Amino acid sequence: MLLLPRGAAGAAALARRRGLAYKAGPSVHRLIDAHELRGRAIEATGPRGTVTVADVRAAARIKAVEDEKARVPVSIEVVPFETYMCEAPSTTVVTNRAEMLGYYEQMYTMRRMELGADALYKSKHIRGFCHLYDGQEAVCVGMEAALTWKDSIITAYRDHCYQLSRGDTPATIFAELMGRATGCAKGKGGSMHMYMAKNNFFGGNGIVGAQQPLGAGLAFAHLYRGDGGVAFALYGDGAANQGQLFEGMNMAALWKLPIVFVCENNQYGMGTAKARSSANTDYYKRGVYIAGLKVDGMSVLAVRQAVAFAADRCRAGNGPFVLEMDTYRYHGHSMSDPGVTYRDREEVSGVRRARDPVEGLKNLLLKHNLATPEEIKALETRTRKEMDVAVEAAKKDPAPPLSELYKDVYCRQSPDMFIRGADLASSHGSVDWAPGS
Ligand SMILES: Cc1ncc(C[n+]2csc(CCOP(=O)(O)OP(=O)(O)O)c2C)c(N)n1
Ligand SMILES: [Mg+2]
């Protein structure tokens, strides 16, 4: 009996990395893929432990029964939403085992990925800026659960987990953090500048407030093209006081743009508590003429419900909406901030005990009998191993070659471009550089 990872695409590669494989001929392998059985135990009854067609069919029957069970609807209550100029979504969220386990896997992966980045920074493998997202995972995962990649997302510099949720891999993200050529921005962007345009993720923005009007632009593009997409512009409680937000909101309301302004209220902007920076800390009301909701940002289900509600309103042509996600960041603002000079350790540990989004979801899985403690343990062990493999793979990757130094600096650089004080074509010595390349 052998195990392979779940999912069809890429599963064989993953299996090879883990040193696992089914002993079977090509047609049986095709059958395994057709039934989406990779990652599952298949009893091998053929000669010398080979998997037969009958074995695959038996495993497919077991899977069908399990899949049906995993789709049985379950109703779970979430904390009521606070409303501004709109009705409230239902607090009863209908989900199932498959969805809930999927959310847990994503959130646990994000938690481990950020803790991995923390260790890499402390061991000096990551240099420069690094802002971690642990504590806020339910916002990202809940949001994606209600959207498709046809909808756009743009955020600030706390962006690693959005890069992951938009289809990148932990290995590529670690590589970018360590400045490796295999990173998602060729190792030249680092922590704050992740990007996945093909899946409508537009970064990764280091200037506080920059992404909010850009989000309005993304929403304009959705409307102009008539593609049915909605733009989600994320910003913090600190960025909520940036003038650009209000300019973006004004235009979005005038033009009824399909945009949701999402304030990830993690209670602090750098070392400043929200009440010291914001005259009005009800961020969901601060669109003034735009309706909004305050959401328990530590509950993946509450976030999913609110995001689906907001996106539906936008798709129906009602213009912009505001969501305030009540959440918390465990780490300091960035790696240079220990995070304990402006708040005490008890506050952080109190949130961990009472509201941790990952732990909270695990408790729901157990309470509603959607998973056993053993299944959760196995998922966690597997995820931790995957993170270790990703870190080691990224560490081995090379730094970008010198020839990359001047590439991607200016878009469509013309051969006769002049930059005062620097003649790029002659000032780089032997570097292999060509204008516009
Ligand atoms: C225009 C601008 N002003 C100031 C800064 C410095 N700065 C970086 S992050 C930050 C605080 C932002 O806090 P918040 O919006 O709550 O986001 P969080 O870090 O909590 O996710 C500040 C002031 C900046 N990057 N850009
Ligand atoms: Mg903040």
Domains of the chain: 11-70 (no CATH), 75-395 (3.40.50.970)
Residues 39 and 21: their CA atoms lie apart, in Å, by 10
Q: What is the mean pLDDT of residues 355-382?
A: 98
Alpha carbon nearest to ligand 1 atom 20, residue: 269
Q: Is residue 431 scored above 60 in pLDDT?
A: no
Least-confidence region, from 61-70, 99-108, 110-119, 401-410? 401-410
Q: Is residue 162 scored above 90 in pLDDT?
A: yes
Q: Is residue 414 scored above 50 in pLDDT?
A: yes
Q: Quick one: pLDDT band at residue 411, thresholds 50, 70, 90? A: low
Stated pTM of the model? 0.89
Bridge partner residues of 94 (DSSP): 75
Taking the CA of residue 274 as reference, the ligand 1 atom at the shortest distance is 16
Q: What is the mean pLDDT of residues 131-150?
A: 98
132 CA distance to ligand 2 centroid (A)? 12
Q: Residue 399, exposed/middle/buried by CB under 10 A (0-12, 13-18, 19+)?
A: exposed
Ligand 1 neighbours, Cβ below 6 Å, are 158, 206-209, 235-239, 266, 268-270, 333
Give pLDDT, residue 5. 31
Kindly report, residue by residue over 200-230, the tens digit of the pLDDT: 999 999 999 999 999 999 999 999 999 999 9
Give pLDDT, residue 228. 98
Total length of the chain: 437
Stretch (H or E) spanning 213: helix 211-225
343 CA distance to ligand 2 centroid (A)? 13
Residues 206 and 112: their CA atoms lie apart, in Å, by 24
| Mutational pocket test of ligand 1: of 265, 270, 331, the residue with most ligand atoms within 8 Å of the beta carbon | 270
Residues 314 and 301: their CA atoms lie apart, in Å, by 20
Residue 268 token pair = 């602090």
Kind of pairing, strands 92-95 and 74-77?
antiparallel
Average pLDDT over the chain, rounded to whole? 91
Residue 408 token pair = 């991607």
